[in-house]
């Protein structure tokens, strides 16, 4: 099919969306319908080549052989123009194939500043902002909506139309390794923020200028047993010792009210509730009875990645996250997930299995049609059938635009949370002699004179990270920071010794709450950040900009207090060192 050619009613933009959906659905064969129910990764690069590192077939083969047209993009281009050109090439290939169903490209978050190389590669040319915890520290739905609007413009420019975010789980279990992607511990604050987030990405009503948000992880993935994560078998159990399921639902109710059209359940297996004890992607009690029937959600439900198929990641076996249904075969798992109410299988490629179930009559085509209708409706609402291509010159001008970058830097600085400031040591005076750790010399040079030992310094600046236990069990488990929140004794003693030798300012990156263990008394000032560059932090330390953040969660006093708390109940650790909302100003 050539561009702008109208041969069938579904290609006619003047018709009502439901008419177009009906027409296209009537023309789709079984393979077309099955392909739509799969949403997996695609690699940036030559779309005719596979990615053996991640086991990803070529984009061309997935489009043509598996009839797939929903892809989560892995990797990034060096600039907006090249990114847009790649997106256009993929759309052009899909346009020429079969019914010409356009590609929906999705992405994980790309805008957070990080010194993690993997995260930085994903960020690529986009403007850089704090992680979502930083927006929780700012506690401004309006400012978050502004971020969403900028991210929307950058995504749109390169053809990214679905955001696999926001993550609105609640950080009620302080040890959980995915807290850095949340808006913190408060259901009320998270509910306010998610409305601004969705509005920013939607840009008004869902339409041609929108990015659809896939809200996750329903019904709230925060209360994991011992803070472990259900990406892994050892962390599959989700528990509610305080019976606080309703508290964790509040942000999702707000998201649905704000117009969210896509939802992702988490991997967790609820234990000790009135829900069936199977992972949420297989859980009819949760996805149909709760999400659709009680909460009235009518949009798309896409599973988290890898519920059906055992795989290998980074050289380590990675079993399917089929918690509670491990005994079922892959086709049986598929049937159970469809019966539970899912519309798409995330991260899966087994279209042949679903075609087999369809041919055998185990799954009816009418069941597929329910999900395909939702998926087609979203594509039409986003304008993908009518305007699948992006302007490459526009992408070059918009992605990483100077004013967007400046707003991101300002947000990084403003989100910093000043916990202590003994004797008003901050802001520092320019030109002082500084012993620094974790700060790039070139960034510091504009503010102070660097010295090599604490004894030579007027002040020490130490940029450190919240502690965690090294629990590398292969694969990508090392990327999940879990276990103790207390600093190892040797590291704690080292930091205390520096603080005794010279007035010390500690900036601690909080991807989870940290037990400071007295560092707040040893150091003259303690600052928290949630993803901030050296430039963003130094602007605040030297008074160019003041800290405006407030803690998005309690900072527990000890690991023992965390163990004694209830993992689903907010603000439940005894006598925290600093409470939610704490933050000094100058």
Q: Which candidate, 528, 529, 538, places its Cα nearest to that of 444? A: 538
For residue 121, the surrounding DSSP H or E stretch is: helix 117-123
d(Cα 249, Cα 190) in Å, to the nearest integer?
A: 11
Using DSSP's 3-state secondary structure scheme, residue 213 falls into strand
Token pair belonging to 472: 């590398």
For residue 40, the surrounding DSSP H or E stretch is: strand 38-43
For residue 317, report the phi and psi dihedrals to the nearest 5 degrees: -55, 135
Q: Are 585 and 255 in contact (CB under 8 A)?
A: no
Token pair belonging to 448: 């102070």
- Tokens 């490209």, residue located: 105
Q: What angle do CA 48, 54, 60 make, to 5 degrees?
A: 20
User: Please, what is the angle between helix 141-158 and helix 402-415, to 10°?
Assistant: 140
Q: What is the dihedral of CA 252, 254, 259, 265, to 10 degrees?
A: 0
d(Cα 171, Cα 187) in Å, to the nearest integer?
A: 9
Token pair belonging to 521: 């008394």
Residues 6 or more apart in contact with residue 35 via CB below 8 angstroms: 66, 67, 68, 69, 351
The count of C-alpha atoms lying within 13 angstroms of the C-alpha of 284, restricted to the half-sphere facing its C-beta, is: 7
d(Cα 540, Cα 574) in Å, to the nearest integer?
A: 32
Is residue 276 left, alpha or beta, with left meaning phi > 0 and alpha meaning psi from -120 to 50? beta
Three-state SS string across 539-559, please? Answer: HHHCCCCCCCCCCCCCECCCH
304 has catalytic annotation: yes
The catalytically annotated residue of 304, 414, 554, 568 is 304
Q: Which candidate, 107, 102, 52, places its Cα nearest to that of 74? A: 107
Does the CA dihedral 537-542-544-547 come out positive or negative? positive
Token pair belonging to 128: 């850089």
For residue 63, the surrounding DSSP H or E stretch is: helix 59-64
Provide the annotated active-site residues.
304
């Amino acid at each position: 099919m050539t561009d702008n050619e109208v041969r069938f009613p579904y290609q006619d933009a003047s018709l009502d969306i439901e008419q177009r959906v009906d027409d296209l659905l009537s023309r789709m064969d079984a393979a077309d319908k099955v392909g739509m129910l799969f949403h997996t990764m695609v690699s940036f690069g030559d779309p005719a080549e596979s990615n053996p590192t991640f086991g990803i077939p070529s984009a061309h083969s997935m489009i043509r052989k598996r009839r797939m047209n929903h892809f989560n993009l892995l990797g990034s281009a060096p600039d907006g123009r090249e990114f847009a050109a790649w997106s256009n090439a993929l759309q052009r290939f899909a346009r020429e194939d079969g019914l010409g169903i356009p590609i929906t490209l999705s992405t994980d978050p790309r805008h957070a500043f990080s010194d993690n190389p993997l995260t930085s590669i994903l960020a690529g040319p986009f403007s850089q902002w704090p992680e979502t915890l930083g927006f929780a520290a700012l506690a401004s739905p309006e400012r978050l909506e502004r971020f969403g609007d900028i991210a929307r413009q950058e995504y749109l420019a390169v053809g990214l139309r679905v955001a696999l975010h926001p993550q609105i789980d609640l950080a009620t279990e302080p040890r959980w390794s995915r807290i850095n992607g949340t808006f913190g511990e408060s259901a009320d604050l998270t509910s306010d923020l998610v409305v601004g987030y969705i509005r920013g990405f939607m840009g008004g009503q869902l339409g041609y200028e929108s990015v659809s948000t896939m809200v996750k992880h329903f019904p709230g993935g925060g209360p994991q047993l011992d803070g472990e994560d259900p990406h892994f078998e050892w962390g599959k159990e989700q528990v509610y010792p305080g019976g606080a399921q309703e508290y964790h639902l509040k942000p999702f109710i707000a998201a649905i009210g704000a117009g969210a059209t896509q939802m992702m359940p988490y991997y967790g297996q609820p234990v000790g509730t009135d829900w069936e004890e199977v992972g949420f992607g297989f859980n009819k009690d949760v996805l149909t009875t709760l999400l659709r029937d009680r909460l009235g959600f009518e949009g798309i439900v896409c599973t988290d990645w890898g519920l059906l198929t055992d795989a290998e990641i980074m050289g380590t076996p990675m079993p399917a996250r089929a918690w509670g249904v491990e005994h079922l075969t892959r086709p049986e798992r598929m049937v159970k997930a469809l019966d539970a109410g899912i519309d798409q299988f995330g991260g899966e490629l087994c279209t042949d299995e679903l075609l087999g179930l369809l041919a055998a009559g185990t799954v009816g085509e009418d069941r597929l049609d329910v999900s395909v209708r939702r998926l087609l409706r979203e594509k039409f609402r986003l304008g993908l059938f009518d305007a699948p291509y992006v302007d490459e010159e526009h992408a070059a001008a918009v992605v990483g635009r100077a004013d967007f970058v400046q707003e991101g830097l300002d947000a990084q600085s403003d989100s910093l949370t000043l916990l202590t400031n003994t004797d008003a040591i901050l802001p520092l005076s320019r030109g002082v002699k500084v012993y620094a750790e974790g700060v790039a010399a070139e960034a510091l040079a504009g503010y102070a004179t660097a010295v090599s030992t604490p004894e030579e310094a007027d002040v020490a600046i130490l940029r450190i990270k919240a502690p965690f236990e090294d629990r590398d069990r292969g694969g990508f488990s090392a990327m999940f920071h879990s276990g103790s929140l207390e600093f190892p004794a040797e590291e704690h003693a080292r930091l205390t010794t520096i603080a005794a030798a010279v007035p010390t300012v500690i900036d601690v990156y909080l991807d989870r709450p940290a037990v400071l263990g007295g560092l707040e008394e040893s150091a003259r000032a303690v600052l928290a950040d949630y993803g901030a560059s050296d430039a963003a932090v130094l602007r605040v330390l030297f008074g160019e900009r003041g800290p405006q953040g407030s803690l998005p969660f309690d900072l527990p006093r000890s690991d023992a207090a965390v163990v004694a708390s209830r993992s689903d109940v907010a603000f439940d650790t005894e006598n925290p060192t600093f409470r939610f909302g704490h933050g000094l100003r100058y």
